[in-house]
Amino acid sequence: MADDEANPMTETTSLPPQRPADPLRFGFNTAFRQLLALIGLLMIALSIPIGIVTPLIPIGLPFGILGVILLGRNSVWGHRWMESVLKRHPRVERFAPNWLMKLVFAREKNVSSPRKR
C-alpha cells in the first residue's frame, strides 16, 4: 500500500455541531412534566372516593394506577415518595404487577421471602 493512499482508519469524521439548549423549550418541558405529576397526584386522591362511589364497577383502581404512573414517571419528588412508601411497607409491593414496577420505577419487583410467625 502506497503512502499517498488514504487510510480510512486515520481519517477523522466530524460530528454535526451541537445545538445549544433552548431555555424556553426546557422550561416548558419541565412545567409540563410537573403538571402531569400534579394531575397524577390528583388522580390518586380522587381514586379513593371514586372507588367508594362505584363499588361494583372498578373505576377507581385503574384511575389510581394511572395516577401512580403519571406521578412516578414525571416527578422526582413523587418517585422518591413512592419508593419511601414501598420501603416502609414492603407488603404493598406484592400487589403491584411487575409491568407497573418496570414502568414506574424501572426495576423488577423486590421479591422477599415471607416472614415466619
Task: From 41, 30, 36, 89, select the one nearest 63 (Cα to Cα).
Answer: 41
Q: How many other CB atoms are there within 10 angstroms of residue 51's CB atom?
A: 16
Q: For residue 82, is it within any domain?
A: yes
Residue 95: is it exposed, middle or buried by C-beta count within 10 angstroms (0-12/13-18/19+)? exposed
pLDDT for the residue numbered 20: 66
**Residue 82 domain boundaries:** 40-105
Q: Single out the residue of 94, 90, 96 nearest to residue 68, CA to CA.
A: 96
At 52-61, the pLDDT tens digits run: 998 888 899 8
Residue type, 10: T
Is residue 17 a part of any domain in this protein? no
Tens-place pLDDT, residues 39-89: 999 999 999 999 999 888 889 989 998 998 898 888 888 888 888 988 898
| Mean pLDDT, all residues of the chain | 80
**Rounded CA separation 43/78 (Å):** 13
User: At 4, is the pLDDT very low, low, confident or very high (cuts 50, 70, 90)?
Assistant: low
pTM of the entire predicted model = 0.63
Q: Total domain count for the chain?
A: 1
